[in-house]
Amino acid sequence: MFAYDITLYGILENSIESRDKIQSDLNNILDWFQKFQLSLSLHKCVALLLTHSKISPEFKIPFSFEYFNIPFVSTFRDLGIQFSDNLKFSSHIESIVSKAHLTSNCILRSFPTNNSSLLVSLFKTFVRSKIEYASQIWNPHRKKEINLIERVQRKFTKRLSICKNLNYNERLQKLDLDTLEIRRIKLDLYLVYKIIHHLVDIPEKFFKFSKLATRGHSLKIVHDSSSTNIRRYFFTVKLPFIWNSLPTNVVSSSNFLSFKNNLDTIDLNLYCNS
- Domain assignment of residue 129, yes or no: yes
- Looking at the structure, tell me whether residues 48 and 126 fall in a common domain: no
pLDDT in tens, 194-251: 998 889 888 767 788 777 756 778 888 887 777 777 788 888 888 888 999 999 999 9
- Domain assignment of residue 3, yes or no: no
Q: How many CB atoms lie within 10 A of CB 142?
A: 15
Residue 77: phi and psi, rounded to 5, are: -95, 120
- Looking at the structure, tell me whether residues 68 and 96 fall in a common domain: no
pLDDT in tens, 31-72: 999 999 988 888 889 999 887 766 666 667 788 988 899 998
- Looking at the structure, tell me whether residues 107 and 144 fall in a common domain: yes
- Domain assignment of residue 7, yes or no: no
pLDDT in tens, 136-191: 999 999 999 999 999 999 999 999 999 988 999 999 999 999 999 999 999 999 99
SS percent in the chain: helix, strand, coil, step 5:
50, 5, 40
- Domain assignment of residue 190, yes or no: no
Comparison of pLDDT for 82 and 61, the residue scoring more = 82
Evaluate whether 26 touches 8 at the Cβ level (below 8 Å).
yes
- Domain assignment of residue 213, yes or no: yes
- Among candidate residues 250, 273, 253, the one with its CA nearest the CA of residue 263: 250
- Looking at the structure, tell me whether residues 111 and 157 fall in a common domain: yes
pTM as predicted: 0.86
Q: How many CB atoms lie within 10 A of CB 173?
A: 11
- Looking at the structure, tell me whether residues 148 and 119 fall in a common domain: yes
**Residue 238 sits in which domain range?**
201-271
- Looking at the structure, tell me whether residues 100 and 167 fall in a common domain: yes
How many structural domains comprise the chain? Answer: 3
Query: What phi-psi label fits residue 198: left (phi over 0), alpha (psi between -120 and 50 degrees) or beta?
Result: left
